[in-house]
Amino acid sequence: MNRVSSGASRTCVAVLTADAAFEQSLRATFGTGGQIELRVISGSISTAADLVTDDLTVVIVDLDAGRPEEMQALERLMLRASLPPVVVVAQNFDADVARSLLQIRVADFLVKPVQPVELVRTCARVARSKGAETTEAQIYTFIPAVGGAGVTTLAIQTALLLLNSGQRSRPSTCLVDLDFQHGACADYLDLEPRLELKEIEHRPERLDRQLLEIMLSHHSSGLEVIAAPNRPAEMRSFDPDMVTRLLDLVSSHFDYVVIDMPRTWFSWTDSVLLGTNKLFIVSEMTVPSLKQARGLVGAIRERLGDGPQPQVIVNRFEQRMFEAGLKKSDVEQALGDDFAGTVPNNYRLVREAIDRGVPIDEVKPGNNISVQLKKLMIPQQAAKAASADAQGLMKRLSLSIAK
């Protein structure tokens, strides 16, 4: 925290708590350096939230998440303009609490009992970012309607498109493989998976920027990848707190985050989907797959309510003239407004890219898969490129006529 105060006139941390033991621990923790002013606001957030002022560096809220009035008071506090970063220390914690804290955008959260050094590190991190201009990560999530729909290929290519979407600089982009049992992102890119779940599974509060950096796999394109070694013989879920904290940390350090989801619904799936900006269900061009996609759209809307609206991408699309079978019009009729578009079938190109462990654009620049994905993921940029191509063609035609 000394580094935080060196560039500012004053570092002031306020703690709102009704726990005398926790208050004493904080006084001992923050009172040793003499460079940090600690303000203690006695009482629960439901009774003392109005005493939180905007001139603070960081606010620590001791929260009893099992009391609805405290959660509601925290939500009202987070709606205030010019509010300092808020760090929540929860007395009890589960997936619903994690989801709520993500939705109201607290700076970070910890679970009691809290190690003093972890709390100091957390306050230091959010204080350092307070004065910096930050933007919320845009999160793209892909979930399969059926097995083998090609989700990993689309997630990887989308991440690479977003990485190269900047006009002057490359936006930082991270691909996260949450299929801990059969994930293939690292294999497709010929990378070593470095996310060691055993290191953080029982103590997710240990996960910070330094540990995250160790667990990132770096691709030659500049894409960062988070993937764990596969556990094909171990079918189990992980603590929602671990997954939520991992994604919260990733989204605070990257411009774009692309998530490859497993087909199985886990206890942490709701939280991941609720934090998503764009949610895509990947289907194949078959009747059973389209039925599964339509059912999944309905299930997600029922569970998430006003959360992100899922859109269906039909992968490996082929349409031949004068042949029987499903047509694009059939898909549009079956899915209605939930239909995002199609991605063409180019099996040879995808297979070669996977076997070589390289992006498909490296195998064939400007291929039909990348072109169509760009229209779906970055429509403004695709439209601009198409307009530029059309203008170039007209110019060449004009010169040809003039000759």
19 or 129: whose pLDDT is higher?
Answer: 19
CATH code, 138-390? 3.40.50.300
Q: In the prediction, which pLDDT does 3 show?
A: 34
Asked whether residue 53 carries a pLDDT value surpassing 60, the answer given is yes
Whether 161 shows a pLDDT value over 80: the answer reads yes
Mean predicted confidence (pLDDT) in 95-112: 82
Supply angle C-alpha 252, 257, 259, rounded to 5: 130
Structure tokens at 166: 């900047």
pLDDT at 8 (0 to 100): 41
Using one digit for the tens of pLDDT, what is the confidence trace for 181-225? 889 999 999 999 999 888 788 777 777 777 888 899 999 889 999
- Residue 232 has what pLDDT? 75
**pLDDT number for residue 1:** 35
Q: What is the DSSP letter of 171?
A: P
Which amino acid appears at position 46 of this protein?
S
pLDDT for 2:
37
Span 280-309, average pLDDT = 92
pLDDT at 263: 93
Domain ranges for the chain: 2-128, 138-390
Q: Which of 57-71, 205-219, 286-300 has the lowest mean pLDDT?
A: 205-219
Higher pLDDT, 168 or 184: 184
**What distance in Å separates the CA atoms of residue 251 and residue 254, rounded to the nearest whole number?**
6
pTM for the whole structure: 0.66
pLDDT in tens, 310-336: 999 999 998 766 666 788 888 999 999
Q: Which helix (H) or strand (E) holds 333?
A: helix 328-335
Question: Which pLDDT belongs to residue 301?
Answer: 92
Kindly provide the b/e burial profile for residues 335-352, where b requires at least 16 CB atoms within 10 angstroms of the residue's own CB.
beebbbbbbbbbeebbee
Max alpha carbon distance in the chain (Å)? 88
Amino acid at 373: L
pLDDT for 356: 87
Band (pLDDT 50/70/90 cuts) for residue 403 is low
Class of domain 2-128: alpha beta
Q: At what angle do helices 151-163 and 368-377 cross, to 10 degrees?
A: 70
Please state, in angstroms and as integers, the Cα–Cα distance from residue 244 to each residue in 36, 94, 113, 125, 358, following that order: 30, 10, 19, 18, 30
Mean pLDDT of 357-382: 87
Reported confidence tier of residue 381, pLDDT bands at 50, 70, 90? low
What is the per-residue pLDDT for 393?
44
Rounded to whole angstroms, how far apart are CA atoms 81 and 190?
Answer: 46
Q: Would the pLDDT of 342 be above 80?
A: yes
Residue 373's pLDDT is 94
Q: Report how far residue 312's alpha carbon sits from residue 354's, in angstroms, rounded to the nearest whole number.
A: 24
Name the pLDDT band for 7 (thresholds 50, 70, 90).
very low
Residue 359 pLDDT grade (very low, low, confident, very high; cuts 50, 70, 90)? confident
Per-residue pLDDT for 160 more than 80? yes
Nearest to 222 by CA among 282, 268, 162, 272: 162
Per-residue pLDDT of 125-145, as tens digits, reads 777 765 544 457 899 999 999
Higher pLDDT, 306 or 155: 155
